[in-house]
Chains A and B, each alone.
Chain A
Amino acid sequence: MSNYTYGESRPALERVSETTRLAQEAYANYDQSVQMLDRRGFVGTVLSASALVLGVAVNPSEATAAPTTWQPSVYLGFEADGTVVIMAHRSEMGTSSRTTLPMMLADELEADWKKVRVEQALGDEKYGSQNTDGSCSVRDFGMAMHKAGATARTMFERAAAQKWGVQPGDVAADQGKVVNGKTKKSLTYAELLPIAAKMEVPKEHELRMKTPDQYKLIGKKVPMLDEHNIVMGKATFGMDAKVPGMLVAMVERPPVYGSKVKSFDNTAALAVKGVQKTVELPMFKQPHLFQQLGGVAVLGDSTWAVMQGRKKLKIDWEKSPNDSYNSADEKKFLLDSVLKPGKVVRNRGDVDAAFATSAKTHEANYYAPLLSHAPMEPPVAVAEFKNGKVETWCPTQNPQAVQEAVAAAMGIPKTDVICHVTLLGGGFGRKSKPDYVVEAALLSKATGKPVKVIWTREDDIKFDYYHTVSGMHMKAGMDANGKLNSWLFRSAFPPIASTFAPGMQYGAEFEVGMGLNELPYDIPNIRGENCPAPNHLRLGWMRAVAHVYHAFGIHSFLDELAVLNNTNYADYMLKSLGPNRNIDLSKDGVKPWNNGQPISKFPISTGRLRRVLEQVVEQSGYGKQKSGNGRGFGIAAHRSFLSYIASVVEVEVDKNGKVTIPNVWTVADCGTVVNPDRVVSQFEGAAVFGTSVAMLGEISAANGRIQQSNFNDYQVARLTESPRNIQVSIVPSKEPAAGVGEPGVPVIVPAITNAIFAATGKRVRDLPVRRTKLV
């Protein structure tokens, strides 16, 4: 991806689609399980550097020396003693991917979970996508895990049947061994290994998958593998990675996006004890992709020395075209941009004609600011450039993007970048952009030593790939009974697409496809428009991405319409949803983005949306609970990441305008659920993340410089600011597994502001809430 350059002769349309492709590829929403269907996947060689012992390739034609180890799939290997080794090829940032996918494989394999060893995979395209982003690990790889497990189990069963001279149907695998149904004798997987490894790999149609009643792990509470190490303080995050002889580095980056080092004086920095050298990093070249920002690095023996040294650098920066970038002006620009017609991204009927004949109309504008991901572990990476190759240890959501970005920066093939993935101290999308790994690799090459680049919190807040700022305009027409007949939805946001193609002012397919062109309501006239917005910063996806602001606009506006018609959101939305059906966006000229998934497999079902809404109303007592006098209930129901989520939030606003959140109820229909407690935990966390977005979060720029620097001025929700109770209910479902990590966030934000309106009569249309005086 990083090698791609944009030809000026390229026609505009293709440019746009290429941008969309790049951004989408980076966001990884293809059906990656395809990889698993490739039979070449069954004759892989080694698992990872730490499992070289497994490097005996299986070749069915070699009937001689029995292999002592066996790797029937890229995700699965066995050691001679029967130990099952499962490769976690997705990153662990708290969503439990590293536990949940291996547990699916282990269950289907009939392995004894206690004897399974999970190893973190290196970055390698043989695994399919490793981009742990887009809430798709189980969705895209669940079937691959089942197939890998079933393949090996079938081979063990056949091996046992062969050894006993019985039919395969007479034996059954059970927790690491195969049992003869008649004699009750058993053989362990370890004993069967030499035979099984030489058997022909069964074809897919020969596999017999377990039925759900036979599951021993799937659907049960399975704790995260790393839990014990975490509570012991022994878990290894990127921040804990160490290599002998490494230098610690910090980089003073350009204060304004796109400015270059004019000159610098390192005399005082080098005088600090422990500081060894300084290195100037070149500025990125457009398109930005995952390149470094540039600046001057200070390298030394210890973190503290380098921190002190960096403060003593004197740098003169060149002017940047973004020197005049101000968030206050941008807000005005965006809210102005949405008052003018934009690019039509969806059209049904004729909203203008409908407005002209509506009994009443209502309009409102909404604004949501820039945000920073702020994972608790700031970006950090260790890299060593040696003999023309780079080896790196880093907390990344996307080790293959690390390979590509580092390879492009160093001018080496991506197969010469070895990427070890540590645990991530939070990701939220930040750590799928490996600019920090590129910095470490460049600095290692420049110094000839392994280098650990540490970002301070200030670096993290000031130099993020920010969640974009947005302005939205809504207008609706209703008949005399208040029934919706038309809805115009305009949205302007500097797009993530601009990170991949400079100058882009319109959203990539996935940005538009998150909420803007997919209103599910039964309204005869709908128009979605994307209005242009230029970018002045590095932008990137953050947990729930464009759904965050689009859901805020949509569900705030629905609440306003309900109030206008003397009803409540739930009743009004249920009426507006119309009959249970699957929405056909193609009639409105929309090719649904749908997280890159076929609409036939993941239709937009108003029935499922209705069900979560009705259930959350019932569980919370929304509509029956009294609002007013500083106490209020708010609600929102939204489909995102192919899941259907509804939340009710209760707020209390005291006489000083201080908001507390006693209760949140969330009902989630995410299709089939594999590790229910970890799913619940994601929705608990989403309620807190959404609280930060709604109440506190704001990044702003003045003269191109980010004004926030740390948790004192970029606040995220603390214990007392977070919901005091969060009740999560998962709808039992046999539908395909959909997203979990992200879809809990979008509903929380409007549910909070709707609750604040119920409590105080104040409609918050500008985020964060703390900017509005509520009392």
Chain B
Amino acid sequence: MAITMTLNGKAVSVDVPQNMPLLWVLRDELEMCGTKFGCGIGQCGACTVHQDGQPIRSCLTPVASVAGKKITTIEGLSPEGAHALQKAWMELDVPQCGYCQAGQLMSAAALLAKNSNPTDADIENAMDGNLCRCGTYIRIKKAVHLAVRMLNGSSPSEANNNE
């Protein structure tokens, strides 16, 4: 039986086993490979997407449970890379290998959506579930703060210089 959801603003329907994790539906069935496989047990956060604005681990989310829900993936965060977090990530050159960064960005985006001025502790709390083996954590924290300043009206370089 087909399962319908709203994916990055568009209705999509998939005919797959009910218990297939959303991660593999995205990657194998819908050819949307921005969301990454890292552990399959909800330990690393590489597969983070939003379900109705909340960050979820798509590797542990049976597709049937998102029927009728709004799902946002990294591809839907901002079509031109215009999200403040994406700009901040580039301004501070956060990525190294880059594999975990879609998940990092989605966790950070969910945080900013509900907390417009997070403290270091808020960021740590929201993002401790996202592993980065290259060790980009300090830039991730800085970039979240930078994105906040950009959302408050500074350009990326101004916001960076006014740190």
Contacts and interface: CB of A to CB of B under 8 A. Distances in A.
A552 to B, nearest CB: 19
For the residues of B in contact with A, the DSSP-based class is loop
Contacts of A374: 133
Given A233-B74, A303-B28, 19 more contacts: A92-B97, A94-B96, A226-B95, A228-B81, A232-B74, A233-B35, A234-B75, A236-B33, A237-B99, A304-B24, A374-B133, A376-B44, A377-B99, A423-B98, A428-B133, A684-B138, A718-B128, A718-B131, A720-B124
A746 B69 CA distance: 48
A376 B124 contact: no
A376 B131 contact: yes
A458 B40 CA distance: 9
Interface string A281-315: 00000000000000000000011100000000000
B106 to A, nearest CB: 9
Contacts of B129: 718
Contacts of B105: 231
A716 B40 CA distance: 16
Contacts of B90: 223, 227-228, 231
B118 interface: no
Interface in A699-749: 710-712, 716-720, 722-726
Contacts of B21: 304
A678 B134 CA distance: 12
Given A716-B133, A720-B124, A94 B41 contact: no
Given A224-B95, A232-B74, A425-B98, A303 B39 contact: no
Q: How large is the interface on B (under 10, 10 to 19, 20 to 34, 35 or more residues)?
A: 35 or more
A378 B86 CA distance: 25
22 contacts: A92-B97, A94-B96, A224-B93, A227-B98, A228-B81, A230-B101, A232-B86, A233-B73, A302-B24, A304-B21, A427-B97, A456-B40, A681-B139, A684-B138, A688-B132, A710-B43, A712-B43, A716-B131, A717-B135, A718-B131, A722-B135, A724-B120
Interface string B78-92: 000100001001100
Contact of A426 (B31, B35, B97, B138): B97
Q: How large is the interface on A (under 10, 10 to 19, 20 to 34, 35 or more residues)?
A: 35 or more
A723 B131 contact: no
Given A227-B95, A376-B46, A685-B96, A711 B17 contact: no
A687 B135 contact: yes
A273 interface: yes
A248 to B, nearest CB: 8
A221 B133 CA distance: 23
Contacts of B160: none
A240 B98 CA distance: 13
B34 interface: yes
Query: Top 4 closest A-B pairs, CB basis?
Result: A233-B34, A688-B135, A425-B99, A94-B96
A273 B15 CA distance: 13
B97 A240 contact: no
A161 interface: no
A711 B44 contact: yes
A425 B36 contact: yes
Nearest to B129: A718
Which of A228, A681, A717 is most buried by chain B, counting CB atoms within 10 A of its CB?
A681
A227 B93 contact: yes
Interface string B15-27: 0110011001001
A453 interface: no
Interface in A108-130: none
A554 interface: no
A200 B72 CA distance: 57
